[in-house]
Amino acid sequence: METTHSQGKDINVNLKGVTICCDDFGTGNIPIIFIHGFPFDKSSWEPQLEFLKHTHRVLAYDIRGFGKSTAGEENMSISLFADDLVELMNVLQIEKAVACGLSMGGYILLNAVSRYPDRFEAIILSDTQCIADSAEVMEKRYKTIDQINADGVTDFANAFVKNVFCPDSLNTKKELVEKIRNIILTTLPITITGTLNALAQRSEMCSSLNEILIPVLILCGEEDTVTPMAQAEFLNLNILNSEFCSIAKAGHLSNLEQPDEFNRYLTPFITKW
Protein backbone atom coordinates (compact mmCIF):
# COMPACT_ATOMS: atom_id res chain seq x y z
CA MET A 1 0.00 0.00 0.00
CA GLU A 2 1.37 3.42 -0.91
CA THR A 3 1.71 5.92 1.92
CA THR A 4 1.65 9.68 1.89
CA HIS A 5 5.15 11.00 2.42
CA SER A 6 7.09 14.24 2.11
CA GLN A 7 9.40 13.84 -0.86
CA GLY A 8 12.48 15.55 -2.19
CA LYS A 9 16.15 16.07 -1.46
CA ASP A 10 17.74 16.42 1.99
CA ILE A 11 14.72 15.48 4.07
CA ASN A 12 15.58 15.27 7.77
CA VAL A 13 14.08 12.30 9.62
CA ASN A 14 14.34 12.05 13.42
CA LEU A 15 15.26 8.57 14.63
CA LYS A 16 15.25 8.54 18.42
CA GLY A 17 17.40 11.65 18.72
CA VAL A 18 19.54 11.12 15.61
CA THR A 19 18.76 13.14 12.49
CA ILE A 20 19.04 11.09 9.32
CA CYS A 21 19.15 13.03 6.06
CA CYS A 22 17.62 11.29 3.06
CA ASP A 23 16.54 11.77 -0.53
CA ASP A 24 13.11 10.39 -1.42
CA PHE A 25 11.81 10.49 -5.00
CA GLY A 26 9.11 8.88 -7.12
CA THR A 27 6.22 6.57 -6.31
CA GLY A 28 5.78 2.83 -5.97
CA ASN A 29 4.30 0.19 -3.72
CA ILE A 30 7.70 -1.26 -2.78
CA PRO A 31 10.35 1.45 -2.35
CA ILE A 32 14.00 0.85 -3.21
CA ILE A 33 16.42 2.01 -0.51
CA PHE A 34 20.11 2.59 -1.29
CA ILE A 35 22.75 2.29 1.46
CA HIS A 36 26.13 3.87 0.78
CA GLY A 37 29.57 2.49 1.54
CA PHE A 38 32.32 3.75 3.83
CA PRO A 39 33.29 6.58 4.04
CA PHE A 40 30.87 8.13 1.53
CA ASP A 41 27.37 9.63 1.63
CA LYS A 42 24.03 9.33 -0.15
CA SER A 43 25.23 11.41 -3.11
CA SER A 44 27.15 8.30 -4.26
CA TRP A 45 23.79 6.88 -5.40
CA GLU A 46 22.77 9.84 -7.60
CA PRO A 47 23.13 7.95 -10.92
CA GLN A 48 20.75 5.26 -9.65
CA LEU A 49 18.20 7.65 -8.14
CA GLU A 50 18.11 9.75 -11.31
CA PHE A 51 17.68 6.63 -13.42
CA LEU A 52 14.91 5.02 -11.34
CA LYS A 53 12.91 7.89 -9.86
CA HIS A 54 10.51 8.08 -12.83
CA THR A 55 9.47 4.44 -12.46
CA HIS A 56 9.95 3.64 -8.73
CA ARG A 57 9.98 5.21 -5.31
CA VAL A 58 13.70 5.46 -4.51
CA LEU A 59 15.45 6.57 -1.35
CA ALA A 60 19.07 7.10 -0.36
CA TYR A 61 20.16 8.27 3.08
CA ASP A 62 23.28 9.40 4.89
CA ILE A 63 24.30 6.82 7.48
CA ARG A 64 24.59 8.41 10.92
CA GLY A 65 27.67 10.64 11.15
CA PHE A 66 28.09 10.80 7.36
CA GLY A 67 26.92 13.51 4.96
CA LYS A 68 24.25 15.62 6.64
CA SER A 69 23.17 13.04 9.24
CA THR A 70 24.08 13.53 12.90
CA ALA A 71 26.17 10.93 14.69
CA GLY A 72 24.41 10.55 18.03
CA GLU A 73 26.10 9.41 21.24
CA GLU A 74 26.20 5.62 20.74
CA ASN A 75 29.31 3.76 19.63
CA MET A 76 29.19 2.98 15.92
CA SER A 77 28.43 -0.61 14.98
CA ILE A 78 27.05 -2.46 11.97
CA SER A 79 24.10 -3.63 14.10
CA LEU A 80 23.36 -0.02 15.09
CA PHE A 81 23.43 1.02 11.42
CA ALA A 82 21.06 -1.86 10.59
CA ASP A 83 18.70 -0.76 13.38
CA ASP A 84 18.78 2.77 11.90
CA LEU A 85 17.76 1.40 8.50
CA VAL A 86 14.74 -0.41 9.91
CA GLU A 87 13.80 2.53 12.15
CA LEU A 88 13.98 4.84 9.12
CA MET A 89 11.57 2.49 7.35
CA ASN A 90 9.29 2.57 10.42
CA VAL A 91 9.20 6.37 10.58
CA LEU A 92 8.56 6.63 6.83
CA GLN A 93 5.86 3.94 7.13
CA ILE A 94 7.66 1.59 4.76
CA GLU A 95 6.51 -1.90 5.63
CA LYS A 96 8.71 -3.66 3.07
CA ALA A 97 11.47 -2.50 0.78
CA VAL A 98 13.92 -3.65 -1.83
CA ALA A 99 17.31 -2.54 -0.47
CA CYS A 100 20.67 -2.10 -2.19
CA GLY A 101 23.89 -1.85 -0.21
CA LEU A 102 27.41 -1.25 -1.49
CA SER A 103 30.44 -2.39 0.54
CA MET A 104 29.66 -1.38 4.15
CA GLY A 105 26.09 -0.83 2.95
CA GLY A 106 26.10 -4.54 2.11
CA TYR A 107 27.34 -5.42 5.61
CA ILE A 108 24.49 -3.35 7.04
CA LEU A 109 21.99 -5.02 4.74
CA LEU A 110 23.13 -8.58 5.53
CA ASN A 111 22.87 -7.74 9.23
CA ALA A 112 19.39 -6.22 8.81
CA VAL A 113 18.07 -9.09 6.68
CA SER A 114 19.25 -11.67 9.22
CA ARG A 115 17.47 -9.86 12.08
CA TYR A 116 14.47 -8.34 10.28
CA PRO A 117 13.85 -10.75 7.38
CA ASP A 118 10.18 -9.84 6.93
CA ARG A 119 11.02 -6.21 6.11
CA PHE A 120 12.74 -6.93 2.79
CA GLU A 121 11.17 -8.00 -0.50
CA ALA A 122 14.55 -8.45 -2.22
CA ILE A 123 18.10 -7.17 -1.83
CA ILE A 124 21.00 -6.07 -4.02
CA LEU A 125 24.52 -6.68 -2.68
CA SER A 126 27.15 -4.65 -4.48
CA ASP A 127 30.91 -4.94 -4.03
CA THR A 128 30.57 -6.50 -0.59
CA GLN A 129 31.28 -9.70 1.33
CA CYS A 130 30.07 -11.78 4.28
CA ILE A 131 33.39 -12.39 6.04
CA ALA A 132 34.57 -10.63 9.20
CA ASP A 133 37.94 -8.89 9.32
CA SER A 134 40.95 -11.16 9.64
CA ALA A 135 43.38 -10.37 12.47
CA GLU A 136 45.67 -8.73 9.90
CA VAL A 137 42.94 -6.50 8.42
CA MET A 138 41.71 -5.61 11.91
CA GLU A 139 45.20 -4.56 12.96
CA LYS A 140 45.52 -2.45 9.81
CA ARG A 141 42.24 -0.66 10.65
CA TYR A 142 43.47 0.12 14.17
CA LYS A 143 46.72 1.50 12.76
CA THR A 144 44.68 3.68 10.39
CA ILE A 145 42.66 4.97 13.38
CA ASP A 146 45.93 5.92 15.14
CA GLN A 147 47.20 7.60 11.97
CA ILE A 148 44.00 9.66 11.55
CA ASN A 149 44.04 10.65 15.24
CA ALA A 150 47.64 11.84 14.83
CA ASP A 151 47.60 13.41 11.36
CA GLY A 152 43.98 13.98 10.25
CA VAL A 153 42.20 12.45 7.27
CA THR A 154 44.15 13.81 4.26
CA ASP A 155 46.61 10.93 3.86
CA PHE A 156 43.81 8.44 4.54
CA ALA A 157 41.60 10.04 1.85
CA ASN A 158 44.39 10.05 -0.73
CA ALA A 159 45.22 6.38 -0.14
CA PHE A 160 41.57 5.37 -0.02
CA VAL A 161 40.61 6.73 -3.44
CA LYS A 162 43.58 4.92 -5.00
CA ASN A 163 42.24 1.64 -3.60
CA VAL A 164 38.56 1.98 -4.45
CA PHE A 165 38.85 3.00 -8.12
CA CYS A 166 40.24 0.82 -10.87
CA PRO A 167 43.24 2.25 -12.81
CA ASP A 168 41.06 3.24 -15.79
CA SER A 169 38.73 5.27 -13.54
CA LEU A 170 41.68 6.97 -11.82
CA ASN A 171 42.99 8.03 -15.24
CA THR A 172 39.78 8.95 -17.07
CA LYS A 173 37.29 9.95 -14.34
CA LYS A 174 39.32 12.50 -12.41
CA GLU A 175 36.29 14.65 -11.56
CA LEU A 176 34.55 11.66 -9.95
CA VAL A 177 37.72 10.70 -8.05
CA GLU A 178 38.04 14.25 -6.74
CA LYS A 179 34.38 14.31 -5.69
CA ILE A 180 34.83 11.13 -3.64
CA ARG A 181 38.06 12.45 -2.13
CA ASN A 182 36.24 15.63 -1.05
CA ILE A 183 33.42 13.63 0.54
CA ILE A 184 35.99 11.79 2.65
CA LEU A 185 37.82 15.02 3.55
CA THR A 186 34.61 16.68 4.75
CA THR A 187 33.65 13.75 7.00
CA LEU A 188 34.46 14.27 10.68
CA PRO A 189 37.55 12.30 11.73
CA ILE A 190 35.65 10.89 14.74
CA THR A 191 33.04 9.43 12.36
CA ILE A 192 35.73 7.81 10.21
CA THR A 193 37.62 6.35 13.18
CA GLY A 194 34.41 5.23 14.91
CA THR A 195 33.26 3.47 11.75
CA LEU A 196 36.66 1.88 11.16
CA ASN A 197 36.28 0.39 14.63
CA ALA A 198 32.75 -0.79 13.76
CA LEU A 199 34.08 -2.46 10.60
CA ALA A 200 36.87 -4.16 12.56
CA GLN A 201 34.41 -5.47 15.15
CA ARG A 202 31.69 -6.65 12.76
CA SER A 203 30.45 -10.24 12.88
CA GLU A 204 30.75 -12.65 9.98
CA MET A 205 27.48 -13.19 8.11
CA CYS A 206 28.57 -16.14 5.94
CA SER A 207 27.00 -18.74 8.24
CA SER A 208 23.53 -17.18 7.82
CA LEU A 209 23.54 -16.84 4.02
CA ASN A 210 21.50 -20.04 3.64
CA GLU A 211 18.69 -18.40 5.64
CA ILE A 212 18.20 -15.72 2.97
CA LEU A 213 15.24 -16.89 0.90
CA ILE A 214 14.27 -13.66 -0.90
CA PRO A 215 15.61 -12.77 -4.38
CA VAL A 216 19.17 -11.42 -4.29
CA LEU A 217 21.15 -9.65 -7.02
CA ILE A 218 24.93 -9.62 -6.50
CA LEU A 219 27.04 -7.09 -8.41
CA CYS A 220 30.80 -6.58 -8.35
CA GLY A 221 33.38 -4.64 -10.29
CA GLU A 222 35.78 -7.00 -12.05
CA GLU A 223 38.74 -4.98 -10.76
CA ASP A 224 37.50 -4.61 -7.18
CA THR A 225 40.51 -5.20 -4.90
CA VAL A 226 38.72 -4.18 -1.67
CA THR A 227 36.00 -6.86 -1.81
CA PRO A 228 37.22 -9.03 -4.71
CA MET A 229 35.00 -10.95 -7.13
CA ALA A 230 35.77 -14.21 -5.31
CA GLN A 231 33.80 -12.85 -2.35
CA ALA A 232 30.84 -11.98 -4.60
CA GLU A 233 30.98 -15.46 -6.14
CA PHE A 234 30.93 -16.96 -2.63
CA LEU A 235 27.75 -14.99 -1.86
CA ASN A 236 26.20 -16.24 -5.09
CA LEU A 237 27.15 -19.85 -4.32
CA ASN A 238 25.67 -19.74 -0.81
CA ILE A 239 22.50 -17.67 -1.29
CA LEU A 240 19.82 -19.89 -2.76
CA ASN A 241 17.82 -17.43 -4.86
CA SER A 242 20.66 -15.24 -6.10
CA GLU A 243 22.12 -14.10 -9.40
CA PHE A 244 25.57 -12.61 -9.98
CA CYS A 245 26.71 -10.06 -12.56
CA SER A 246 30.25 -8.74 -12.89
CA ILE A 247 30.94 -5.22 -14.14
CA ALA A 248 33.91 -4.64 -16.45
CA LYS A 249 36.23 -1.64 -16.05
CA ALA A 250 35.06 -1.07 -12.48
CA GLY A 251 36.72 -1.31 -9.09
CA HIS A 252 35.04 -1.07 -5.69
CA LEU A 253 32.63 1.73 -6.69
CA SER A 254 31.02 -0.08 -9.61
CA ASN A 255 27.78 1.95 -9.44
CA LEU A 256 29.74 5.18 -10.04
CA GLU A 257 32.50 3.90 -12.30
CA GLN A 258 30.10 2.19 -14.72
CA PRO A 259 26.64 3.58 -13.83
CA ASP A 260 24.96 2.64 -17.11
CA GLU A 261 25.96 -1.00 -16.83
CA PHE A 262 25.10 -1.08 -13.13
CA ASN A 263 21.65 0.35 -13.88
CA ARG A 264 21.20 -2.09 -16.77
CA TYR A 265 21.57 -5.01 -14.32
CA LEU A 266 19.28 -3.36 -11.78
CA THR A 267 16.41 -2.86 -14.24
CA PRO A 268 15.26 -6.46 -14.90
CA PHE A 269 15.78 -7.40 -11.25
CA ILE A 270 13.47 -4.69 -9.87
CA THR A 271 10.79 -4.63 -12.59
CA LYS A 272 8.41 -6.83 -10.55
CA TRP A 273 8.35 -4.16 -7.84
C-alpha span between 111 and 207 (Å, rounded): 12
How far is residue 70's CA from residue 185's CA, in Å, rounded to a whole number? Answer: 17
Domain locations along the chain: 8-132+203-270
- Band the pLDDT of 71: cuts 50, 70, 90: very high
Q: What is the pLDDT of residues 86-96, one digit of tens each?
A: 999 999 999 99
pLDDT of 206 strictly over 70: yes
In 68-216, which ranges are continuous DSSP H helix? 78-91, 104-115, 135-151, 154-164, 167-172, 174-185, 189-201
C-alpha closest to that of 52 among 22, 85, 30:
30
With a threshold of 0.85, does the pTM exceed it? yes
Q: Which of these, 7, 9, 46, lies nearest to 28 by C-alpha position? A: 7
CATH topology of domain 8-132+203-270: Rossmann fold (3.40.50)
pLDDT at 2 over 50: no
pLDDT for position 3: 40
Model confidence pLDDT, tens digit, residues 94-104: 999 999 999 99
Q: How confident is the model at residue 58 (pLDDT cuts 50, 70, 90)?
A: very high
